[in-house]
Structure 1
Amino acid sequence: MKNKLKEKLKYFDYGLFIPYLILCLIGIVMVYSASAINLTYVGVKATSYLFKQIIFVGIGITLTLIFSHMNPKFWVSKNVLRFGYWTVIILLMMAKFLFGAINGANGWITLGSFSIQPAEIAKLYLVVAISKAFSKREADIYLGKHKRTTTRKNLAVNILPILALIAIEPDTGGATICAAICLVLILANSKNWRASIGILGVAISIIALTVMAIHAINPFKGSKVEYMYKRFEGYFDPFTYATTSGKQLVNSFYAISNGGLFGVGLGNSIQKRGYLPEPYTDFILAIIAEELGFIGVLVVLGLLFFIILRIILIGIRSNNTFNTLVCYGVATFFTVESIFNIGAVNGLLPITGVTLPFISYGGSSMVVLSMALGMVMNISANEKRHTARNMFLNMELKK
């Protein structure tokens, strides 16, 4: 028992776990700072969201440790993948058709004071399912048992319903992140890197043209989702709509401007006092900028992108196709979510309601991101163990 514990600690990836832990602790502090004053305004305990976030982080850390030590074969068994697929489909349909809309989107299943966001679960499912499909295809092709086109057709049949259900919630940010995960994994598995770069460029161009077309035409006029167009109005000209659709972005600008280099001090934000709507969720980075300044933002983003770069490095070093693709998929998940949040706070991208990983308030995001990180830590430990074993065998052979 003692030897097993020593072995696990020996191969444990502290380079991923410690930055993750620091980000979670910063998130707890900032969620409390950003939410307390507004909760007191409406007669709710100032510590309400603090205690919930502590619970979310506790569950997240527990799941990270469990997934970092469990047998990876469990994730990719046919029964687990089949169960995961139907669970995602059923939860997305329940959120869309059985539960009320929150901020204009039917993306949540509300259970008392807690809620589940199925689109978050879908992101991790797509990473594992696509990685498994491509790694199995590679093995089958090597053995002469498989045609190259079959896997992509099967993936399209399974993936498109998930993307469609997320898109019609409507959850633009979630659908785009899921699509980005699919695209990156498909391109990573491609042998033609020039074609991959071309496809990626075309995808980015289509997204940019779509945003401009929506702003110019307003296809949502008079519909239930017209609020989506108002987000584009607030994005393109926030100060003209400073009291309506541009309110969040304008007050985010004020918060960032107030913070300067070192910030106004923890707890001293002005914009969180009723000016910036829901500052503890997707605009928490603006409060960090105001209270902790540019230095505080640099620390948070530095830790976050250190984790992402380390995940990519683990994927590059892996000799196993499944492990490599999982790392690339998780890195894409973290990167696109971070870019969407940072871009929205700074007015570089339209507001999509995407959270800042490990920092923003929310249980679904924290739990799924933690599980994803635990999988990568598991891959890292297995790679280290495999390298150590090979080194030992080489030394024995030299004797």
Structure 2
Amino acid sequence: MRRPEGFDIIILVMAVTLTCFGVVMVYSASSVMAAKKYHDGFYFLKRQGIFAAAGFAAMVFTMQLDYHVWKKVAVPLFLSCFFLLILVFIPGIGGAAKGASRWIRLPGFNFQPSELAKVALIIYMAYSLDKRQEKLRNFSTGFFPYLMILGAFIVILLKQHDMGAALTMGTVAITMLFAAGTKPRYILGMGVVALPGVFYLVVSEAYRMRRITAFLDPWKDPTNAGFQIIQSWLALGTGGILGQGLGEGKQKLFYLPEAHTDFILSVCGEELGLVGVLVIASMFLLLVQRSIRVAIAAEDNFGRFLAFGIAVLLGLEAFINMAVVSGMLPTKGLALPFLSYGGSSLIISLTAVGILLNVSSRMKGLPS
């Protein structure tokens, strides 16, 4: 039964506010480029508006759907995502851009299966951890099988040149395992064993090495590998405390690459200043805090793991994007949830929020 208080209104307000604000900022960041490329300054605004409407519809549907239903579809959904990730490599079905093969071409829309796979992984792990919690403290029957499953997904994502999604899924899965009771020494041991592999992945691909060297010193190659982060710094620095004003940013005018997608926070910083960026970061922090609150008070373990996984996913993606934009992490293609342009990310994020809201409506008690 739902609580008399209903859904967590703060989570709902944060998700809706961030999404609506994202639509405005996508227009601000893309209108000039859209006018030049598509002869329609509203091109990205109209598409993002459609994505937002579809995302809100998905959120309303999932927030009304009893979250226990996801137990029944956890395994088929998980396997379907594995199949979809393979489909991107098939000519005529998969789409590529800038050396990465991450999309399935649909009429008028490119779908990114890795976005759905992130939520499918959380649903599957919540279902599996609920069933197998007593086995988690055993390496061979509790921890190792999850490593094999996770490893298969990561291999496919790395083949797609999507290291950002691979790192995100890996971190979410390991965090959920830790929260479910996996022995810390298993996780630490896995990290030590994985380090040589991570090092090899970085040095074996020239584009990854360029990102690392640009991260360490972007001014060594300011017109190529270091160009994007330098332009991002210029945008953030120009914004100052209060910003240049909505729509008044200059770096988006063909200087800052991916201004309306991965680096939309730079545009926010230039136009709304440090204050605007801090407000956005605070909204994400509040969203994650309330999501963890829901996980603590969920009526069963499945709901706890489900809410906790979604909280980690949204918080981690927001943190990585903000760290990349500010130069704290090497550049990688990872959208800022709710704000960045893109249908797959926005629709799936709002769908996940809907699931989270349904868990909140059935909390057995509010934590202090």
**TM-score normalised by structure 1 residue count:** 0.84
| Structure 2: runs of 5 or more not aligned | none
Q: 1:287 aligned to 2:272?
A: no
Partner of 2:79: 86
Deviation at 1:236, TM superposition (A): 1.7
Q: Matches of 1:373 and 1:19 in 2, distance apart?
A: 10
Partner of 2:29: 34
Match of 1:122 among 108, 117, 122: 117
Paired residues of 2:297 and 2:365 also in contact (CA < 8 A): no
Residue 90 of structure 1 aligns with an amino acid whose one-letter code is F
Residue 283 of structure 2 aligns with an amino acid whose one-letter code is L
Partner of 1:163: 154
Partner of 2:204: 219
Q: Matches of 1:88 and 1:214 in 2, distance apart?
A: 24
Deviation at 1:159, TM superposition (A): 3.2
Which deviates more from structure 2 when the two are superposed, residues 107-116 or residues 169-178?
A: 107-116
| Structure 1: runs of 5 or more not aligned | 142-146, 221-225, 389-399
Q: How does 1:79-228 map to 2 (within 5 A)?
A: 80-98=73-91, 99-138=94-133, 149-190=140-181, 192=183, 195=184, 199=187, 203=191, 210=198, 218-220=203-205, 226-228=206-208
Deviations 1:166-196 (A, max 9, x none): 121111100000001110011111165xx26
Paired residues of 1:282 and 1:355 also in contact (CA < 8 A): yes
Deviations 1:228-271 (A, max 9, x none): 32222321221221111111100000000100000001111110
CA RMSD of superposed structures (Å): 2.7
SS in 2 for 1:106: strand
Deviation at 1:355, TM superposition (A): 0.6
Q: Matches of 1:315 and 1:234 in 2, distance apart?
A: 39
Partner of 1:241: 221
Paired residues of 1:261 and 1:294 also in contact (CA < 8 A): yes
Which deviates more from structure 2 when the two are superposed, residues 326-335 or residues 148-157?
A: 148-157
Q: Matches of 1:67 and 1:74 in 2, distance apart?
A: 10
Give identity over the alignment, percent.
29
Q: What is the number of equivalent residue pairs in this alignment?
A: 363
SS in 2 for 1:110: strand
Q: Matches of 1:8 and 1:137 in 2, distance apart?
A: 28
- Report the CA distance shift for 1:290/1:319 in structure 2 as closer, same or farther (over 3 A): same
Paired residues of 1:251 and 1:275 also in contact (CA < 8 A): yes
